[in-house]
Amino acid sequence: MIIGFVQTKGGTGKSTLAVNMAFSRSMGREFDSIALVELDSQGTLKSWWEEREEMGYDPGKVSFHHISSTQKEVFQQGIKSISDYNDLMVMDIPGESTGKLHTRFACAFCDLVIIPMRMSTNDESAFMNNLYPIIKEVIRAVPEKKGQFCVLPVFTHPRLNSRKCFDYFEDILPPQILCLQAVYPTRSVYENFNRKGLNLNEYAKLVESNKKFSQRVERAIEDIEKISKIIIKTGKGNHDII
């Protein structure tokens, strides 16, 4: 299975989500080998992974791959090669204001495209003007791709009624786009867990002696596990490949 976190604008939580999906317990139980792939030339995840290696953290089932090339044939071949040797590939697609080469490829290549999106008119406008036209092109060329594009509501208030959030997106989204029945809340832990190459579960062990911090991390882990389970369920519903 190939999952891509795609959004043409930056700052929507794609990298954090990609990392924690790859290392989630749910994904680890479902898949024997998991590739975390970064296509961003800035290499934010690459630096994070190098810190992990320096600290000697166990990668478990997860391998990391950084493809910085903007040459279409080069990164396409690299991604296809990685997908051949892994049961799950989680792709972090960079935000792209022009060209959108990686975005177009991910929309066409991935089995499931997850679109992190806030409840805001700005995000709605950006999606309709920049990403949705690409999705329409892909579905027009390959009709069976319909149903493989899913919005994940992000940066929601932790106490927000999720049903209201889902209703909002179901009201504004085109019929080809689904809304995952899970949310990614705003939590300070998501900004701090990855220092020194940590993932959420490793960070939880680091702060387990601090009850306040520990509870915050456990809530974040619950967020990620719920999203992971919904993604697995959605993938099973759309494809016979999990």
Summarised one tens digit per residue, pLDDT across range 21-46 is 999 999 999 999 999 999 988 889 99
Number of folded domains that form the chain:
1
Tokens (6 digits) for 120? 């805001």
113: which strand partners?
Answer: 4, 149
pTM, two decimals, is 0.93
DSSP type of residue 86: -
SS3 of 10, please?
A: coil
DSSP element (H, E) containing 112: strand 112-117
CATH number at residue 115: 3.40.50.300
d(CA 113, CA 125): 19
Query: What is the span of the domain harbouring residue 30?
Result: 2-238
Summarised one tens digit per residue, pLDDT across range 99-135 is 799 999 999 999 999 999 999 999 999 999 999 999 9
Summarised one tens digit per residue, pLDDT across range 55-113 is 999 999 999 999 988 888 888 899 999 999 999 999 999 988 777 999 999 999 999 99
